[in-house]
A and B are shown apart, each in its own frame.
Chain A
Amino acid sequence: EDQVTQSPEALRLQEGESSSLNCSYTVSGLRGLFWYRQDPGKGPEFLFTLYSAGEEKEKERLKATLTKKESFLHITAPKPEDSATYLCAVQVSGNTPLVFGKGTRLSVIA
């Protein structure tokens, strides 16, 4: 069974304090790994797709990396507006559903 585990469940950072979120996965075959951001009361918002080990993608203060067993979402010098739940998901083949982890709830304190 395809599984995605995210850690930590919750993370509290001071503004400017860099850190990383982890997403480990066990799948029969990986087509893509996705990162989403979810704000309270809203739907998940797409951030990145990673397709192969060694791939990296960046957007503002966020950088996502991928290995054969896990992905990291690095947050550099976070700001309070980065506070959200970050969800990781895997896709085994095209046009198929995503399997989501339970997310990491990030709080950035000014």
Chain B
Amino acid sequence: DAGVIQSPRHEVTEMGQEVTLRCKPISGHNSLFWYRQTMMRGLELLIYFNNNVPIDDSGMPEDRFSAKMPNASFSTLKIQPSEPRDSAVYFCASSLLGFEQYFGPGTRLTVT
């Protein structure tokens, strides 16, 4: 299995621009999680989906963040407009039936 796939691996953008991060979970997994990692706050959950349905988005910082999962094999996290404080590493993870979560390689986002 190829594991969780994320793209792009690195993104540098200017403040105010729209950013879209993409994730392909492991085939057959039914839960998908978006996390953000910073030095100060560690790994924090943004949103998660079960069977393509958003369950809890209370971790999404504000309305500038949105996430979708149109089918079992694809999810996006969008930031519009982006701000410098959004700079972080964003991880996608997937799991089967609530057991261990497998993480992708992450997207390092830099907003200047």
Residues of A within 8 A of B30 (CB): 95
Measured between alpha carbons, how far is A102 from B52 in the docked complex, in Å? 29
Interface of A is mostly: loop
Q: Of A31, A43, A98, which one neighbours B104 at CB under 8 angstroms?
A: A43
Q: At the interface, yes or no: B18 with Cβ under 8 Å from chain A?
A: no
The contact string, 1 if C-beta is below 8 Å from chain B, for chain A 30-48, is 0110101000001111100
- Contact B100 A49, beta carbon cutoff 8 Å: yes
- Contact A98 B101, beta carbon cutoff 8 Å: yes
Output the nearest chain A residue to B30 by Cβ-Cβ distance: A95
- Contact B101 A42, beta carbon cutoff 8 Å: no
Interface of B is mostly: strand
Q: Of B42, B56, B100, which one neighbours A97 at CB under 8 angstroms?
A: B56
Q: Taking the nearest CB of chain B, how far is it from the CB of A3, in angstroms?
A: 12
Residues of A within 8 A of B93 (CB): 43
Q: How many A-B residue pairs have CB under 8 A?
A: 53
- Contact B91 A43, beta carbon cutoff 8 Å: yes
Residues of B within 8 A of A89 (CB): 43
Measured between alpha carbons, how far is A99 from B45 in the docked complex, in Å? 8
- Contact A95 B42, beta carbon cutoff 8 Å: no
Q: At the interface, yes or no: B105 with Cβ under 8 Å from chain A?
A: yes
Known contacts A94-B98, A96-B98, A101-B42; A45/B103 CB under 8 A? yes
Measured between alpha carbons, how far is A86 from B107 in the docked complex, in Å? 20
Measured between alpha carbons, how far is A42 from B91 in the docked complex, in Å? 10
Q: Taking the nearest CB of chain A, how far is it from the CB of B53, in angstroms?
A: 11
- Contact A34 B48, beta carbon cutoff 8 Å: no
The contact string, 1 if C-beta is below 8 Å from chain B, for chain A 76-110, is 00000000000101010111111111110000000
- Where the two chains meet, the residues of A that have a C-beta atom closer than 8 Å to any C-beta of B are 31-32, 34, 36, 42-46, 49, 87, 89, 91, 93-103
Given contact pairs A87-B43, A95-B55, A97-B56, a sample of 9 additional A-B residue pairs in the complex whose CB atoms are under 8 Å apart: A32-B99, A89-B43, A93-B98, A95-B31, A95-B50, A97-B45, A98-B101, A100-B43, A101-B42
